[in-house]
Chain A
Amino acid sequence: MPQDDRKRRFELLALPHLDAAYNLARWLAGNPADAEDIVQDAYLRAYRYLDSFNGGEFRVWLLSIVRNSFLDWVRENRSARLLFQAEPPAETDETLWGHPPRDPEAMLLDSIDSQTLERLMLRLPLEYREVLLLREVEDLSYKEIAAITATPTGTVMSRLSRARLALRKSWLDTHKMEVPHGL
């Protein structure tokens, strides 16, 4: 049966990326139930449009569909304003990168626990969270992230840079607040 064959092929291609798809949906939507719905919707779409996949990395194609499913889910379920937060002004503060207290910083990174990090990530604007996940966790290139997010490569680079600064700033702030209690 050609339909069975098609289904089997789709499963071979798509199921290895289920964790990556779910992780992205989970971080974008913020909760497990919606993430499952988004991923299921994305997989059905991917199956339907399998013939329009024109080579390249399947994971990249699939993640772009997960993102589309997420955007549709937002449009159906929430105010669009939530999504398109204006990006905060670019931080060009030299001291953020330039002259770090290096040893304390390494200790600081070590001292951050998963819960704190998750909280800091969820507080970031959606675009920042997304670009950090795709780059640092999924290990995708600028070009691949540009394809997934339908954004020019230059924008991906500057957004990534601002996302990194924002995350770093937030953990430095957390640290400043927590240290007095620790000493």
Chain B
Amino acid sequence: MACNRTRTIPAMLADGALRQPRRFLAERHVGGCPDCAAALEALQAARTMLRTKLPFHRAPPNLASRIGAALPREAPPVPLRRWFPTQALGGGLVGALAGIALTFVVLHAPSRTDPVVQDVIDSHVRSLLAEHLMDVPTSDQHTVKPWLSARLDVSPPVRDLAELGFPLLGGRLDYVDGHKSAAVVYRHAKHIINLFAWAATGAAAGADTGFSETAHQGFNVVTWRRDGIAYHAVSDLEADQLAAFARLVSGGN
């Protein structure tokens, strides 16, 4: 890998912008190029300086309540203007769909979200906010699985999918929709995935189902049932990636 005068290699290394194998090649280059090594060191020193010395302005204590007080007076949503580049579809179509979806929401309020989906999203958000993400914080599947099995009436499969981009972070006990539930925690890039698993109940409890995808309030949820266990995967990860995760973790293809 050749360097140039603008020193993009150290910058991309410092910014974590390279994936393997390019990162390896870049690191090898910097290891043998004093100029790039010096540039990388300078970038890291500057970052440390900004993080430690630049004043971070925390929101004044009354701002949250000021915003909270202003919220209920706001009219219900009318998203005619796009605030963010939509990823998958053309803007016009999205706008049209959003309009239809909104009409639906307005006509059919309260929304028809499955209460179980609502509950797993709540648990997911709570786990992130309360910083109680894991009871057993380990990437060792042979530790997480017996820990969960000892405390639950089901033994959900626990797989470390690090090589596939979904490292296992750990597990915890949760309580969802009136069930004791296993919550197995995975990560993909910066996104946390909570995989909830509990013993399926009801007439069709023993029947396997396919993967069903729902999006609600900015979270994606994939639901399926296999071998008598009900699974809910929740994350702010993009829908197709979460669907891929669900297929990987359930052992299917």
Contact = CB atoms under 8 A, between A and B. Distances in A.
B237 interface: yes
A175 B85 CA distance: 43
A161 B58 CA distance: 27
A182 interface: no
B51 A137 contact: yes
A65 B67 CA distance: 15
A3 B129 contact: no
Size category of the A interface is 35 or more
A24 to B, nearest CB: 9
Contacts of B150: none
A100 to B, nearest CB: 6
Interface residues of B, number: 70
Contact of B72 (A7, A23, A114): A7
Contact of B46 (A65, A141, A142, A167): A167
B53 A49 contact: no
B102 interface: yes
Interface in A20-57: 21-23, 26-27, 32, 35-36, 39-40, 43-45, 47-57
B83 A49 contact: yes
Residue from the set B50, B102, B110, B220 with the largest chain A CB neighbour count within 10 Å: B50
A18 B79 contact: no
A19 B56 CA distance: 9
Interface stretch (B1-9, B151-159, B197-205): B1-9
A99 B35 contact: yes
Contacts of A97: 7, 35, 38-39, 42
Nearest to A25: B57
B239 interface: yes
Interface of A: 1-3, 5, 7, 9-13, 15-16, 18-19, 21-23, 26-27, 32, 35-36, 39-40, 43-45, 47-58, 61, 64-65, 68, 92, 94, 97-100, 102, 105-106, 109, 112-114, 117-118, 121, 132, 135-137, 141-142, 147, 150, 157, 160-161, 164, 167-168
